[in-house]
């Protein structure tokens, strides 16, 4: 969460949830970071998103909040109904680190 949200602004509140995580399948290590599953939806909704790529614009950092999959599907359906096109907007859902979550959380 640290790279993609403003969660560090809440360290005073949620700092005890930070940890070091290693994902063996992708060989990614996250030190001193937070994982989504350690927060309630209401807590996640209080965060604001930021661009994690340094070479991209940061003009919209802290503008958007975390969305649920249901909210994204609702927005996609609305955009498709309001703006019909030959190739409607769709979703490609990627589940990152699937094995980690199955092994640790069932």
User: 31 pLDDT band (50/70/90 cuts)?
Assistant: very high
- How far apart, in whole angstroms, are the C-alpha atoms of residue 58 and residue 56? 6
Q: Do residues 53 and 71 both lie within one domain?
A: no
Q: Do residues 62 and 75 both lie within one domain?
A: no
Q: Do residues 15 and 52 both lie within one domain?
A: yes
Look at the chain and report how many structural domains it folds into.
2
User: 47 pLDDT band (50/70/90 cuts)?
Assistant: very high
3-state DSSP call for residue 82?
helix
According to DSSP, the residues that pair with 30 across neighbouring strands are: 21
Q: Do residues 59 and 90 both lie within one domain?
A: no
What is the percentage of the chain residues whose pLDDT exceeds 70? 100
- How far apart, in whole angstroms, are the C-alpha atoms of residue 99 and residue 106? 10
Cα atoms in the 13 Å half-sphere on the side-chain side of 50: 16
Q: Do residues 21 and 9 both lie within one domain?
A: yes
Q: Do residues 79 and 62 both lie within one domain?
A: no
Look at residues 39, 37, 49 and name the one whose alpha carbon lies nearest to residue 14: 39
Residue 66: the pLDDT is 95
Q: Do residues 78 and 59 both lie within one domain?
A: no
Residue 78: the pLDDT is 96
Q: Which helix (H) or strand (E) holds 19?
A: strand 19-23
**What is the span of the domain harbouring residue 44?**
1-66
Q: Do residues 42 and 15 both lie within one domain?
A: yes
């Amino acid at each position: 969460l640290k790279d993609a949200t403003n969660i560090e602004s809440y360290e005073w509140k949620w700092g005890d949830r930070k940890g070091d995580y290693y994902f063996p399948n992708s060989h990614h290590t996250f030190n001193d970071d937070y994982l989504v599953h350690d927060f309630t939806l209401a807590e996640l909704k209080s965060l604001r998103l930021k661009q994690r790529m340094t070479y991209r614009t940061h003009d919209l950092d802290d503008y958007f909040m975390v969305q649920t999959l249901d909210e994204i599907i609702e927005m996609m359906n609305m955009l498709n109904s309001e703006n019909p096109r030959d190739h409607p907007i769709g979703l490609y859902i990627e589940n990152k680190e699937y094995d980690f979550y199955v092994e640790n959380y069932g």
